């Protein structure tokens, strides 16, 4: 009898244990496993895609395109408010909150991928995972600090371990960017290849990532022209290293024919908030630039293909404004950094150093022409071979180099154009004449020298809240304080 009760008890205990084990398995989220059990190589594709969609593109680029006057903000909503310089729109912490959060989320994921490569961790010895993640971290961090100035970094990306990180000075963040890029080159040079097809940008080609690391280093060295007397020499050295590594642009093809399109095209299709700007049209028309047909396309056959900066185009008039042809091309690539930008960096630095910049200038313009042809969905007869005759008409001067770089960046590189305009202003130069009459108001400048912090941190992190300001002064600093590399203090 005793044996019978023991057997029943054992059966009940076993059933209970099995039942609890079963419930544990049922409660697992198979679609979203915990970060601890995911290889770093599977973090990389999402980080690349999020960098392209949320950091390089998205509200950051769309608003900035109005400030640089490379596109025209139309429609009766957010970009019209930017166009007419409604400062309440883009000085609010809510304006860029989604992009602020998305960029930090991407950087947190990249930190996890980097940490997984430490000794004793899942991806120990996977130096390619570490190197790729470091390049992407440098790119995201660079855009974040260039747009916002001082931002949380050294104490950030720790999740619940630190919800209120301090702000790091931009000068220190730039040192971190260069450390990341230098370490990335070292790691990628080891030749380890474990990422493979998870690398949706370069297909696991370490040399291509080394090229991008050097190209980004050239970009960020150039930003320091006001602060560092060696900036131009350092940028030339890094650019040449990028070319030696075979850098020919970092362009992401996101189109899958089903659900994923170029973000500029998706934004255009859903809202029609973006059109062609007269500022660009005038620069192209003055030069008989054949790219004009692609940039100012009369989509709706109204005879109106561009609008003057500062005009308020109401919702019912949206369709009267033409737009760049590539905005109707979901298959257009996204530039994380273009080949033309790298060669324009070389051309500018050589021109400033009194060196012959003609070859690099020509290569940069040719790359832009090729990009225009590739991004046009077949709406025009534009032929990139017209670059040769066009280049022959251009003087190789510092001003023309900057104008041509500005024109090439209308495709999808407005953030870097914004950096160039601010950088040159800090140097006392005005190569691009911004024509929006609403850049200045009776109360002062309405052209932002930087973008405001995201509301998630303004509301929850006292360090960010103090920098953003309170009351009537909240957000007003973006009109009065340059970022550090442009001569400011933060």
Q: Per-residue DSSP letters for 447-479?
A: S-SS-PPPHHHHHH-HHHHHHH--GGGTTGGGG
The mean of the pLDDT values for the chain is 91
Is residue 11 very low, low, confident or very high in pLDDT (cuts 50, 70, 90)?
very low
Q: pLDDT tens digit string along 307-340?
A: 888 776 554 555 567 899 999 999 999 999 999 9
Residues 6+ apart with CB under 8 A from 49: 200, 252, 254
* Cβ atoms within 10 Å, residue 477: 19
Topology annotation, domain 36-251+330-435+443-486: 1.25.40
Asked if residue 232 lies in contact with residue 349, where contact means CB atoms within 8 angstroms, the answer is yes
Q: pLDDT tens digit string along 418-460?
A: 999 999 999 999 999 999 999 999 889 999 999 999 999 999 9
- Is the C-alpha dihedral spanning 58, 42, 209, 187 positive or negative? positive
DSSP class of residue 167?
Answer: P
Q: Could you tell me the residue ranges of all domains in the chain?
A: 36-251+330-435+443-486
In whole angstroms, give the CA distance from residue 26 to residue 159.
27
Query: Whole-model pTM?
Result: 0.92
pLDDT at 236 over 80: yes
Q: pLDDT tens digit string along 26-83?
A: 555 556 556 668 999 999 999 999 999 999 999 999 999 999 999 998 877 788 899 9
Find the radius of gyration of the CA atoms of the chain: 25
pLDDT at residue 14, as a whole number: 45
pLDDT average, residue stretch 372-392: 97
Give phi and psi for 170, each to the nearest 5.
-60, -35
pLDDT at residue 257, as a whole number: 61
pLDDT average, residue stretch 347-351: 98
């Amino acid at each position: 009898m005793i044996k019978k009760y023991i057997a029943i008890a054992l059966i009940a205990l076993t059933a209970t244990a099995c039942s609890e084990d079963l419930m544990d398995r049922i409660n697992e989220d198979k679609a979203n496993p915990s970060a601890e059990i995911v290889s770093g190589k599977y973090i990389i594709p999402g980080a690349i895609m999020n960098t392209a969609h949320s950091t390089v593109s998205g509200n950051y680029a769309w608003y900035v395109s109005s400030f640089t006057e490379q596109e025209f903000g139309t429609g009766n909503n957010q970009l019209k408010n930017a166009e007419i310089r409604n400062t309440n729109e883009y000085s609010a912490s809510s304006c860029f909150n989604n992009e602020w959060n998305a960029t930090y989320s991407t950087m947190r994921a990249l930190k996890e991928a980097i940490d997984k490569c430490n000794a004793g961790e899942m991806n120990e010895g996977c130096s390619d995972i570490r190197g790729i993640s470091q390049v992407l971290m440098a790119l995201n961090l660079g855009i974040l600090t260039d747009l916002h100035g001082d931002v949380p970094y050294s104490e950030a990306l720790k999740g619940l371990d630190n919800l209120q990180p301090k702000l790091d000075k931009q000068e220190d963040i730039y040192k971190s960017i260069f450390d990341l890029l230098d370490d990335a080159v070292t790691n990628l040079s080891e030749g380890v290849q474990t990422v493979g097809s998870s690398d949706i940008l370069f297909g696991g080609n370490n040399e291509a990532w080394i090229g991008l690391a050097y190209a980004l280093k050239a970009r960020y060295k150039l930003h320091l022209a006001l602060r560092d007397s060696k900036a131009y020499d350092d940028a030339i050295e890094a650019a040449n290293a990028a070319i030696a590594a075979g850098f020919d642009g970092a362009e992401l093809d996101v189109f899958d024919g089903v659900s994923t399109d170029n973000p500029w095209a998706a934004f255009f299709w859903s809202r029609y908030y973006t059109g062609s700007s007269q500022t660009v049209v005038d620069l192209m028309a003055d030069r008989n630039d054949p790219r004009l047909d692609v940039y100012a396309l009369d989509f709706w056959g109204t005879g109106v293909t561009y609008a003057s900066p500062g005009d308020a185009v109401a919702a019912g008039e949206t369709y009267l404004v033409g737009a760049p042809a590539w905005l109707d091309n979901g298959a257009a690539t996204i530039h994380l950094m273009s080949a033309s930008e790298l060669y324009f960096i070389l051309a500018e630095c050589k021109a400033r150093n009194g060196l012959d910049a003609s070859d690099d200038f020509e290569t940069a313009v040719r790359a832009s022409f090729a990009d225009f042809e590739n991004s046009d969905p077949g709406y025009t007869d534009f032929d990139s071979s017209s670059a040769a005759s066009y280049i022959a008409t251009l003087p190789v001067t510092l001003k023309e180099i900057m104008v041509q770089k500005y024109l090439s960046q209308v495709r999808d590189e407005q953030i870097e154009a914004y950096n160039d305009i601010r950088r040159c202003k800090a140097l006392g130069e005005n190569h691009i004449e911004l024509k929006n009459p609403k850049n200045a108001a009776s109360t002062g400048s309405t052209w932002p020298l930087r973008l405001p912090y995201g509301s998630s941190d303004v509301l929850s992190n006292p360090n960010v809240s103090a920098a953003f300001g309170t009351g009537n002064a909240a957000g007003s600093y973006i009109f009065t304080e340059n970022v550090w590399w442009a001569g400011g203090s933060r």
